[in-house]
Amino acid sequence: FTSNESIGFESDKNTSMVANNITTYAKTIHELKADSEATIQVGETIINAKPDCVIIKAGGVEVTIDSNGLVVKGGEIKAE
């Protein structure tokens, strides 16, 4: 499917894409927008963004950034 202008996909319910590899490329801006939650998962590492916080889970450590600041569970904070 190719277009010289723009393309759009719209669904009233859910949309899924399944493949061995999916690549998206934008020459200028690449946006992912969600009203309630966006999750990126690579293996056991998860980045979960909500309107009021971001939670990162990696290697047994969980980092939460919200209106209270930054909280690290299961790890430590180092500055180098």
User: Both tokens of residue 63?
Assistant: 């980092």
Q: CA angle, 40 as apex, 18 and 72 as ends, to 5°?
A: 155
Kind and range of the H or E run holding 54 = strand 53-58
pLDDT tens-place string over residues 39-56: 999 999 999 999 999 999
pLDDT tens-place string over residues 14-36: 999 899 998 888 999 999 999 99
In angstroms, the CA 22 to CA 72 distance is: 32
What CA–CA distances, in Å, run from 39 to 1, 8, 35, 77?
27, 22, 12, 24
- pTM of the entire structure? 0.79
